[in-house]
Every structure is written in C-alpha cells, then in structure tokens.
C-alpha cells in the first residue's frame, strides 16, 4: 500500500512538473501554437475598456473586415476569430469582454452562414474548441446543451493539462496537411438556395448573446459577410439582420475569403465600404489601406 501511494505521488509530481514546463513554453512563445489567433483574442477580451460600447465577434472572413487591434476608435472592440469555435466560443469571448468593459452594450456577429449551423460535432472541432474553452462552468454548460461525452472529456483534459495539450498539438502539426485544409475549394454553382439555419448549439448561444446584450440595454445583430454569387442562401427565418451582399465569384481568392489567398485585411477597399454601408457599420470600419497590389474589389 505504501509503495502504491509513493508511486501515485511520484506520478502526480512528474505530471505536474511536465505541465509546468509546458506552460512556460506556451507563455514564452505562442506564435507557432495551433490557434494563435484565439490566444490573441482571449487576451484582448480580458483587457479593460471603459469606452467600449460594441463588441464584434465572427469568423475569419469577418476578421478581414474587423481585424483585432485595428479598431478605429475606443468605442469598439474586435474579437473576430474563425468558424471552428462556433457561436459558443463567440459567446464566451463576448462575455469576458463585457466583464472587463463596463459600458459595453451591443454585440455584432459577422459570419458566413455555415458557422451558424456548427454544432461542435466533429472530433477535431471539439478538440480545437476545448483547447481554449474548458473552464468547469463552460464544460457544464456545453454538457447541458449537447450531453456529448467526448466533448466533455476533451474539455476536462484541457482543463487539467492545458500546457501539455497545447504543446502536444504543436508537435502533432503537419504543415502540409494544415495547408491543404486551409485552402477552401471553390463551390460549384448552386441552383437551389441553401437554407440558413441555427444548430442547437448556435441557437442556445445566440440566445445567451442576446441576453448578455439585453442585460446592458443593448442588442445583438447577426450580419453575413459578403458571399460569392454562385452560392445563394435562403434566410427564411430572418436570422441575419440585413440582406446578404453577393459579389462575383472571382473576388474570392479561395472561394470564401476576399482578395488574393492569404490576404489578411480588406480595410480601405471598395468592398469594405460597400459592406459597411449596407449594414450601417461605416463608423466602425478600420481606415487602414490594403497593401499595394492586394485588392479585394468587386
């Protein structure tokens, strides 16, 4: 019995030491970690912002229009990330921003329709999400929504060993595979419009976002990013607050993002202005110009 106890204590100490080393590695350099943009936005959400009134969340296309750190004034905070964290991740980011921004009232969700249909089902999506959102209260809430044992287990492991799991994901990266996954294949011309719909996870967290804004007397708007005119969508439930801006397919370098492949920002372009004018977001649009030779016009 004594030997077993000593073994257990040694094992726990070894795991704790490994976790401490991994957390030091993560703290020293996050630039090469999986989901570096999420680490960045988590930090930004936790920064005090006494002047912030509106919080923007959304996917990687929204990030082209409202990149974190490019806010044109102190009344807005951009927390745009990607589609993989779903509306659940967007809610937790907005909730943390509201916690640190006492005058925040409104939330603007900017996204492609697919993010609204995300239900955190694929295992790789669950692992990615859990790497950043694994507090006990978050795990409890997701369990109440999905009753998904695998997702709950992934969140638990990430909560216990966040540093080890982050380094493990780094070491397991296959650059070639990541590059292949990052290139979205152009979709064929769609004759029948695809229905815009909310998954159970999205429905739950959209309501939570609405309640969060309402607690301050604010509102939530759901805005679609510009979409190729080859893929019409039918928003019969009026999930989006405004009409969708459709642009020629040639404007989308990879079928999803605007401009040449890898273009990080559309700020200062005609597309950005048209998009902002359609949705009444001109005052919050970054003023920076796109790099020379990299335009996303349509």
Q: Is the pLDDT of residue 212 over 80?
A: yes
Mean pLDDT of the chain: 84
Residue with tokens 């967290």: 205
Question: pLDDT tens across 13-62, in order?
Answer: 555 555 555 556 555 565 655 567 898 999 999 999 999 999 999 999 99
Question: pLDDT tens across 58-83, in order?
Answer: 999 999 999 999 999 999 999 999 99
| The predicted structure's pLDDT at residue 127 | 87
What's the CA gap between 96 and 106, in Å, rounded? Answer: 14
On whether the 32-127+192-284 domain is CATH 3.40.50, my answer is yes
Q: Tell which phi-psi region holds residue 151, choosing left (phi > 0), alpha (psi between -120 and 50) or beta.
A: alpha
Q: Following DSSP, what letter does each residue of 152-198 receive, concatenated?
A: HHHHHHHHH-HHHHHHHHHHT--HHHHHHHHSPPPPPPPSSPEEP--
Q: Following DSSP, what letter does each residue of 215-249 receive, concatenated?
A: TTT--EEEEEPPEETTS-EE-TT--SSS---EE-G
What's the CA gap between 228 and 267, in Å, rounded? Answer: 19
**For helices 136-146 and 149-160, angle between their N-to-C axes, nearest 10 degrees:** 170
Q: Provide mean pLDDT across the span 234-256.
A: 93
Contact (Cβ atoms closer than 8 angstroms) between residue 275 and residue 245: yes
Sorted by sequence, the CB contacts under 8 Å of residue 185 that are 6+ apart come out as 255
| The predicted structure's pLDDT at residue 179 | 44
- Element (H or E) spanning 270, and its range? helix 270-279
| The predicted structure's pLDDT at residue 269 | 84
Q: Which long-range contacts (CB under 8 A, 24 or more apart) does 256-259 make?
A: 256/61, 256/112, 256/184, 257/60, 257/61, 257/64, 257/184, 258/61, 258/64, 258/226, 258/296, 258/298, 259/64, 259/290, 259/294, 259/295, 259/296
The CA-based dihedral angle spanning residues 41, 178, 188, 229, taken in that order and rounded to the nearest 10 degrees: 20
Q: Provide mean pLDDT across the span 140-166.
A: 86
The answer to which of 123-137, 191-205, 262-276 has the lowest mean pLDDT is 262-276
pTM, two decimals, is 0.84
Contact (Cβ atoms closer than 8 angstroms) between residue 131 and residue 158: yes
User: What are the structural domain ranges in the chain?
Assistant: 32-127+192-284
Sorted by sequence, the CB contacts under 8 Å of residue 184 that are 6+ apart come out as 254, 255, 256, 257
């Amino acid at each position: 019995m004594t030997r077993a106890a000593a073994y257990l204590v040694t094992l726990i100490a070894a795991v704790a030491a490994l976790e401490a080393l991994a957390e030091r590695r993560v703290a020293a350099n996050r630039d090469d970690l999986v989901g570096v943009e999420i680490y960045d936005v988590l930090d930004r959400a936790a920064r005090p912002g006494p002047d912030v009134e509106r919080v923007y969340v959304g996917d990687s296309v929204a990030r082209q229009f409202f990149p974190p750190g490019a806010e044109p004034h102190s009344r807005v905070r951009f927390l745009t990330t990607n589609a993989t964290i779903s509306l659940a991740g967007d809610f937790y980011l907005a909730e943390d921003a509201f916690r640190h921004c006492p005058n925040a009232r409104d939330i603007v969700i900017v996204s492609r329709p697919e993010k609204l249909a995300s239900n955190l089902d694929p295992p790789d999506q669950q692992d990615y999400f859990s790497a950043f959102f694994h507090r006990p209260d978050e795990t409890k809430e997701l369990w109440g929504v999905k009753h998904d044992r695998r997702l709950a287990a992934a969140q638990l492991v990430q909560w216990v060993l966040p540093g080890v799991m982050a380094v493990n994901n780094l070491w397991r990266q296959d650059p070639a595979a990541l590059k292949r996954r990052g290139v979205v294949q152009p979709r064929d011309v769609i004759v029948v419009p695809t229905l815009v719909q909310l998954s159970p996870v999205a429905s739950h967290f959209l309501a939570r976002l609405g309640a969060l804004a309402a607690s301050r007397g604010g509102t939530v708007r759901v805005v679609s990013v510009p979409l190729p005119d080859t893929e019409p969508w039918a928003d019969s439930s009026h999930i989006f607050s405004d009409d969708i801006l459709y642009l020629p397919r040639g404007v989308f370098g990879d079928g999803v993002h605007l401009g040449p492949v890898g273009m990080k920002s559309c700020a200062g372009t005609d597309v950005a202005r048209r998009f902002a004018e359609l949705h009444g977001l001109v005052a919050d649009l970054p003023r920076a110009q796109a790099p020379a030779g990299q335009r996303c016009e349509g």
